[in-house]
Amino acid sequence: MTPSPLWTSTDAPAATGGRAAGTWTTNGISIDTRSLERGDLFVALSGPNFDGHDFVGGAFDNGAAAALVSETSADSLDGMPGLIVADTLEALRSLAVAGRARTGAKIAAITGSVGKTGTKEALAHVLASQGSTSFSKSSLNNHWGVPLSLARMPKDTDFGIFEIGMNHPGEITPLVSLARPHVAVVTAIASAHMAFFKSLEDIAHAKAEIFSGLDGGIAIINRDTEHFDLLATTALATGADRIISFGRSTEADMRLIECLSDTTGNSVEASWHGKTLNFRVGQPGVHWAYNSLAVLTTVDALGGDMDTAASALAALPGLPGRGAVHVIPWGNGSIRLIDDSYNANPESMNAALKTLGHMPKDGGRRVVILGDMLELGDISKAAHEALEAEIIRNDIDIAFLAGQEMTALADRLSSTALGGIADTAGELLPIVMSGLQAGDIVTVKASNGIGLSRIIKKLTEPAPVARAANGT
């Protein structure tokens, strides 16, 4: 059966108050010509350094079915099909509102200082076999990404899973008002974006904004955070009917009893209202055990089958930049590469180092390639220095570092533990290529702005010939 169009030249103008140019139907929505798929509606957004209307022609060259453009730049359509509106971002938000209103889907919104993307991806994975599931792709969690994700939700969706991020107070409230979730999840409170907050309590208040979108729904909260009471009180005061908690705490509704980690994942035992759950999570790192608890409680809150979801976690695929594991031929052997390069703060960095520390060396070394943790403000120097203790605690042999903030860590490492430091990922790349050895287990982690994905790309690209023992 042919799927129904996502938007048409009839319903999109009705949703936005715009006017159609030509007759068209679209299968998806894109705001980037580089990732646009044939049949998409291209939305010409404008930012401080670009104007999406400059790319309308390229969008049609790439197969766009229509373009959403502003009245002042309507000539960018150049006779092609489109939707003409007063403001393209506001029109995208209107499509989000209409997309949310026309579906009977059960909606979950997820935020947190760490774990929100992994939890969202895992939740979408386990629900895919239980109904039509629509979810935020990648980390589309900001003032563009959330409305885009909602506007992409088909009418016949059963489950909608949406990630909501922030780095300033007040940013979550307007986004969750679009999603209007039945279930709102806070994965953790940690010292991310401290450049914009005075304290962890202020971050907790900002994350608690997600509950403002509930109208008689369920709040799911990490019981182990010291800010649980603040979050729970806010949830009940702003619309939640009930609270479900998860964590190691004996007071948690979904309680982690045991987690046995290995190189390919975790064997988890949990307790849920007196019932024992034993399941496998197909990603390494204890933090994935915590993510899985949030996932299973959310499945239950959305009306899904928890046992089916728990079984599906064993086949959880690796996420690029968020723990995906690559085994790469290297010299006369191989290296095992853990790609956690997308983002970092002190808590997630410690979790990555702990995951590496649990992996057997198998004759090689434990190696980290680390880049700056950004937006930490006044705590940045101390936070980077503190990584030394975690490196020692987890028996990590050598560190390669990129970024200005990482000099604080470099100054504390011994000469044998410091493999090299550079200002940029590009400058660090040749040092890494010559410094890795067959048998190494390598974790790569940094804030996304440092660009360590460049090193991941180089390490994982097919090699025309076998690399020498030192990788060159």
Q: Let me know if residue 127 belongs to a domain.
A: yes
Amino acid found at 329: P
Domain boundary among 271, 293, 315: 315
In DSSP terms, 29 is beta-bridged to 41
Residue 2 lies in a domain: no
Could you tell me if 377 and 451 lie in one domain?
yes
Residue with tokens 């604080």: 408
pLDDT in tens, 45-84: 998 888 999 999 999 999 999 999 999 999 999 999 999 9
* Mean pLDDT, residues 163-189 taken together: 95
Whichever domain contains 35, its CATH number is 3.40.1390.10
DSSP-assigned beta bridge partners for residue 1? none
Half-sphere exposure of 334 (CA within 13 A, CB side): 9
- Mean model confidence pLDDT for the chain: 93
In a domain, 466, yes or no: no
Residue 156 in 3-state DSSP?
coil
In a domain, 96, yes or no: no
Supply the CATH number for residue 138's domain. Answer: 3.40.1190.10
145 lies in some domain: yes
- Note the pLDDT of residue 72: 96
Are 283 and 422 in a shared domain? no
What is the tens place of the pLDDT at every residue in 182-204? 999 999 998 777 778 889 999 99
My answer on whether 379 and 281 are in the same domain is no
337 token code pair: 């590469």
Residue 160, in any domain of the structure: yes
Q: How confident is the model at residue 463 (pLDDT cuts 50, 70, 90)?
A: low
CA 434 to chain centre: 31
Shared domain for 79 and 115, answered yes or no, is no
Lowest mean pLDDT among 122-126, 319-323, 388-392: 319-323
- Looking at the fold, whether 288 and 410 belong to one and the same domain comes out as no
Strands (E), 176-231: 183-186, 217-222
In a shared domain, residues 293 and 334 = no
**Please, is 428 exposed, middle or buried when counting C-beta atoms within 10 Å of its C-beta (0-12, 13-18, 19+)?**
buried
- Please say if the pLDDT value at position 43 is more than 50: yes
Higher pLDDT, 139 or 218: 218
Q: What is the CATH number of the domain that holds 416?
A: 3.90.190.20
Whole-number pLDDT of residue 393: 96
Domain tally for the chain?
3
* Residue 451 shares a structural domain with residue 349: yes
Looking at the structure, do residues 84 and 23 belong to the same domain, yes or no? yes
Mean pLDDT of 275-284: 94
- Alpha carbon distance 432, 397 (integer Å): 14
Domain boundary among 280, 315, 350: 315
Residue 35 lies in a domain: yes
pLDDT confidence of residue 243: 98
Report whether 391 contacts 410 (CB < 8 A). no
Do residue 300 and residue 334 come from a single domain?
A: no
Look up the domain containing 440 and give its range.
324-460
Picking from 40, 62, 88, the residue at the C-terminal end of a domain is 88
Specify whether 419 is located in the same domain as 290. no
My answer on whether 196 and 266 are in the same domain is: yes
Lowest mean pLDDT among 198-202, 204-208, 309-313: 198-202
The position carrying tokens 């470099």 is 410
**One domain for residues 448 and 341:** yes
Token digits of residue 404: 């200005």
Q: Does residue 467 sit within a domain?
A: no
pLDDT in tens, 406-428: 999 999 999 999 999 999 999 99
* pLDDT tens string 98-132: 999 999 999 999 999 888 999 999 999 999 999 99
pTM, 2 dp: 0.86
